[in-house]
Amino acid sequence: MPKLKTRRAAAKRFRATGTGKVMRRKAFRNHLLQHKSTKRKSQLGKPAVIDETDEKRVQLMLPYLG
């Protein structure tokens, strides 16, 4: 069986944890930050686990993720 290619755009956006969960970056942390509270910006900076409905799609884009 030939090797599978990784989608490079997805590889830059997702990381796997030691237990196999896939982490993503949260949205709304790029610009227009002056009106957002410090608490909100801090919580947006933390990584989040992807939703279970997206796991299959990410797995197809990243066949060797873990």
CB 44 within 8 A of CB 33: no
pLDDT digits (tens, 9 = 90+) for 1-60: 899 999 999 999 999 999 999 999 999 999 999 999 999 999 999 999 999 999 999 999
Distance from C-alpha of 48 to C-alpha of 33, rounded to nearest angstrom = 20
pLDDT reported for residue 7: 97
Check the CA dihedral 43-44-48-54 and report its sign: positive
Cβ atoms within 10 A of the Cβ of 50, count? Answer: 16
- 10-27 residues labelled b (16+ CB within 10 A) or e (exposed): eeebbeeeeeeebeeeee
CATH (residue range 8-61): 4.10.410.60
Would the pLDDT of 66 be above 90? no
Total-model pTM: 0.84
